[in-house]
Amino acid sequence: MSDGSRGGRATGPDDPVAQWLGGGELVRPSAAFRSQLRTRLLALPPAAAAPVGPTAAQVAIAVAVVAGLGTLAAITWTGSRQPTEGRVAATAPAATAPAAAARDVPVERAGPGQGVGPVRAPADNREAVAPPTPAVARSTAGPPAPVTPAAVASSLPATAAAASMAADQSGAAGGESAPRPPGGGRAREQTPQPSATEPAQGVPPSPALPADEPSALPPAATPTPVADGLPAGPTPAPTGQGWPTLPPPSPTPDGGAE
C-alpha cells in the first residue's frame, strides 16, 4: 500500500480536486508525540487495551439488578398470595396439623351431628382433611370405632406428662378430641379446652380449617408444632402464647367422663 506521501498522485494536473485536496507533502508527527504515544501504547495494560465484553463492575451491577428484581418479584408474589392463603389451605388436604394431631392423639370421632357446635370446627371438615381412623388404630391398636376419652387415656402412658400432653393435644386437635355431648355445646364449658384455644390467638390459621370459621382456626393452628415435635416429655412446650400448664393429670379429661 502506498505510503501516503503521494497525496493526489492518482490524478493529473487537470483535476481541480487534486489541486485542492492533494499536493501536500507528507505531514509527519513530531518526534515527541511519536515516542510518547509509543510508550503509552506499550505500557497499556491488556485489559485497558482490549475493552471487550462487560467489565467486572458492569457484571456486578447486572447481578445486583437481577437479584433485586428477583427479591421484588418474590415479595410481590408472596403479598399477592397472602390473602388467599387461608382459603387455599382450607380446601387443601393438609395432612399436617390435624393429621399429625390425630396420629398421636386418639380422637373420638364425633358422630353425625356430634361435635358440630358453633365453636369448634365441624366434624365434616376434619373428615375431609384428615381422617383420624388410622391414627386411632395405630395408637390404640384397636378398631377404628369411636374411641372414648377413657380409652384414650388408657391407651396413653400413665404418666402425668403423657396425660397432660394427651389432654393438650386433644385440645389442639381442633377441640374435637375432647368428648362432647351430642349437641357439641359443651366444648366451650370444658376447662382445658378454653385454655387450649385461647393461646392460639394470633397464631396463623391452620391450613386445615376454613378461613370463614374464625373460631375454629386458632385451636387448629397450634397443634402442629406441639404434636409433631414434642417428645413424650414432661412439658408440652407451650408456645408462650398463653398455653398454660395443664392441671394435674387426670386419667380422663373433663369431657371424657361423660
Partner 1 sequence: MDDEASEAAPSADHREDALLLEAARRDRQAFGLLYDRYVDQIYHYVHRRVGETAVAEDLTAEVWERALGAIERYEDRGAPFSAWLYRIAGNVVANHYRQQRLRRLLPLISQGNAHDPRAEVDDRSVVRQALRALSASDQEVLSLHYYAGLTPAEMARVLECAPSVVHKRLQRARERLRARIEGDSRVGR
Q: Which residues bind partner 1 (CB under 8 A)?
A: 1-11, 15-18, 20-22, 24, 26-29, 33-34, 37-38, 40-42, 44, 49-52
Which residues does 164 contact at the CB level (< 8 Å), separation at least 6? Answer: 236, 245, 246, 249
**Shortest separation between residue 59's beta carbon and partner 1, angstroms:** 19
**Shortest separation between residue 54's beta carbon and partner 1, angstroms:** 15
CA 204 – CA 223 distance, rounded (Å) = 12
In terms of CB distance, is 5 or 76 closer to partner 1? 5
In terms of CB distance, is 38 or 87 closer to partner 1? 38
**Shortest separation between residue 64's beta carbon and partner 1, angstroms:** 27
CB 186 within 8 A of CB 256: no
CA 256 – CA 220 distance, rounded (Å) = 20
**Shortest separation between residue 18's beta carbon and partner 1, angstroms:** 6
In terms of CB distance, is 20 or 240 closer to partner 1? 20
Burial of 126 (0-12, 13-18, 19+ CB in 10 A): buried
In terms of CB distance, is 34 or 138 closer to partner 1? 34
**Shortest separation between residue 75's beta carbon and partner 1, angstroms:** 42
Torsion of CA 179, 182, 185, 188, to 10 degrees: 0
